[in-house]
Amino acid sequence: MPAVTHSAIDATDATDAIVVGAGPTGLLLAGDLAAAGVRTVLLERRSQESNLTRAFAVHARTLEVLDARGLAERLLSTGYFVKDVRLFRGAVIDLGRLPTRFPGVLMTPQYHVEGLLEERAATVGAELRRGARCTGLRQDADGVSVDVTGDDGTTGTLRARYVVGTDGVRSTVRQAIGMPFPGRAVLDSVMLADVRLDASPGEVPAFRGGPAGFSFVVPFGDGWFRVIAWRRGTALPTEAPVDMEELKDVTRAVFGTDFGIRDARWTSRFHSDERQVPAYRDGRVLLAGDAAHVHSPAGGLGMNAGLQDAANLGWKLAAVLRGDAEEALLDSYHAERHPVGEQVLKVSGAIVRAVLAESPVVRGLRGTAGAALRFGPLAGFAGGRVAMTVSGLGIAYPAPPGSHPLVGRRAPDLPLAEEGPGRPVRLYEALRAGEFVRVVPRGFGLDAGPGPGLRVTRADAGRTMLLVRPDGYVGEAEEVPLGWVDGGVVDPRPRATVSPGPGPGPRDVAAPR
């Protein structure tokens, strides 16, 4: 496990990167940075690991991100995998036909995700310091000084070239740089409980809303169920205890039964806001996950958005810190991920507003939309687009005019024609090296010219040559003419490139998107 410190930080302590907050986003980011050779310290105010959880849904794109780190299969064994999501009566999002190795959504407690990511971060050399609370910071032209208070009351300062705040909705890092967090409250006093049930719901996951409020029931696969419930008009503070009878009442009101809720092992309340910072970067300080954007729990998108923030930022920050890229590359983090955060707010907000609609007209339209998604002519088209959006597979980043259509899009997990022990047989296995991966057509020859990154050969008949970024998105693409394959000698560097900033130098990668 990572080194754990419970005392003050020495005033002379210095490192390359500090990540503040050891939730899923911070753990993935710290692991990526350390794996890339960056000295990384992860500060966590909690002295001990938590077995409590709010997030539980791991969508397909996030499973691909974890697959590129060798973690997906292990995580799948911890939960319950489902292939459709029911938003409201009659509305079903079919995830089973998604173009991925993971056509569905994994229901598993957040602590399983954190456990795997912490183990990986330790293995690659990230240093986790528990009981170390960030109380403020100051940045200058050369770096950032972070004030830290240990859980024993002692204080000190830790110095780094860059700091990333992944410390949640009440982010100290965000407040320290004076970054606004505009938005509004959506739901007050949402109840959470992990419980046993006498009878399992017929739907997985089960979600109902009505005049009384809503209730959501999902299995964790180990006999425990998460129940999320909200009663319309409730305005209790977050510290108010959860009344199990109230939880049962709301569940009965919308489902017609409370499924025999009993034996709660954990309960909590939270307020749900819709907020997003205007900028994900302020000089040498960056924000990710809930420190940058928060939204309603509808759709289970929050943890996924944060993990994908980390995957986008990690390779860019590592390239800058190693001297392989100019600092301007970091601006592409905001340019690519801020619009995704906006989309998540819109999607989750639309879902929760549809579920809670009181107007008979809106409820009628909601029913019509549900029928269309499930049975009507829009089932394939609209349902497919919604599934791609909710799963994260449909996320694409901007590309300049004239680029190949694949530039900025998620790379599919192509089969590879590699031979020999330890050679990857899929693209996402090749991405586990943490490098750019150049995918060339069969017969093209791996040594036919210069170019950055690990070089692999497609096993299919496709003639598209790709340069895939470490986060699994296409940075460059080009269609190779038939005459260039099977022995042709050409310069294999794709012409359709994206260069949002100055090139990174020695690795000959023009800051590909």
Closest CA to 60 of 479, 413, 353: 413
- The pLDDT assigned to 85 comes to 73
Are 285 and 265 contacting, i.e. CB atoms less than 8 angstroms apart? no
Q: Indicate the domain borders of the chain.
A: 14-56+109-181+277-356, 184-274, 399-513
For the segment 347-399, what is each residue's pLDDT rounded down to a tens digit? Answer: 888 877 776 664 443 444 344 334 333 433 333 334 478 889 889 999 999 99
- The pLDDT assigned to 155 comes to 93
Closest CA to 296 of 258, 327, 261, 270: 270
Q: What is the DSSP string of 127-194?
A: EEEETEEEEEEEE-SS-EEEEEEETTS-EEEEEEEEEEE---TT-HHHHHTT----EEEEEEEEEEEE
Low-confidence residues of the chain, pLDDT below 70?
1-12, 49-53, 86-91, 355-383, 445-452, 482-513
Closest CA to 63 of 54, 53, 76: 76
Crossing angle for the helix pair 360-374 and 381-391, nearest 10 degrees?
100
- The pLDDT assigned to 84 comes to 79
Place of tokens 């819109």: 346
Strand-pairing partners, residue 163, are 18, 285
> How would you write 81-120 as a 3-class SS string?
EECEEEEECCEEEECCCCCCCCCCEEECCHHHHHHHHHHH
- The pLDDT assigned to 89 comes to 55
CA 511 to CA 386: how far, in whole Å? 31
Are 248 and 261 contacting, i.e. CB atoms less than 8 angstroms apart? yes
SS3 of 306, please?
helix
Are 148 and 10 contacting, i.e. CB atoms less than 8 angstroms apart? no
SS3 of 358, please?
coil
User: Both tokens of residue 114?
Assistant: 């954190």
Strand-pairing partners, residue 171, are none
- The pLDDT assigned to 188 comes to 82
Are 15 and 41 contacting, i.e. CB atoms less than 8 angstroms apart? yes
| Chain-centroid distance, C-alpha 15 | 25
Alpha helices in 274-424 (DSSP H): 302-322, 331-356, 360-374, 381-391
Are 46 and 130 contacting, i.e. CB atoms less than 8 angstroms apart? yes
CA 226 to CA 362: how far, in whole Å? 29
- The pLDDT assigned to 49 comes to 65
The dihedral through the CA atoms of 380, 386, 392, 395 has a sign that is positive
CATH of 184-274, one of 3.30.930.10, 3.90.1300.10, 3.30.70.2450, 3.30.70.1280: 3.30.70.2450
CA 314 to CA 333: how far, in whole Å? 10
SS3 of 215, please?
strand
CA 468 to CA 38: how far, in whole Å? 21
Q: What element of type H or E holds 474? A: strand 474-479
CA 438 to CA 509: how far, in whole Å? 11
Please tell me what DSSP assigns to residue 361: H
CA 511 to CA 149: how far, in whole Å? 38
The dihedral through the CA atoms of 92, 93, 98, 100 has a sign that is negative
What values do phi and psi take at 411, rounded to 5? -85, 130
User: Both tokens of residue 358?
Assistant: 């009181």
Q: Which CATH superfamily is domain 14-56+109-181+277-356 in?
A: FAD/NAD(P)-binding domain (3.50.50.60)
CA 61 to CA 51: how far, in whole Å? 25
- In this structure, the number of other CB atoms found within 10 A of the CB of residue 479 comes to 14
For the segment 186-207, what is each residue's pLDDT rounded down to a tens digit? Answer: 888 889 999 999 999 988 788 8
Are 208 and 255 contacting, i.e. CB atoms less than 8 angstroms apart? yes
| Chain-centroid distance, C-alpha 399 | 21
Place of tokens 């049962």: 248
CATH of 399-513, one of 1.10.3470, 3.30.2450, 3.30.1450, 3.40.30: 3.40.30
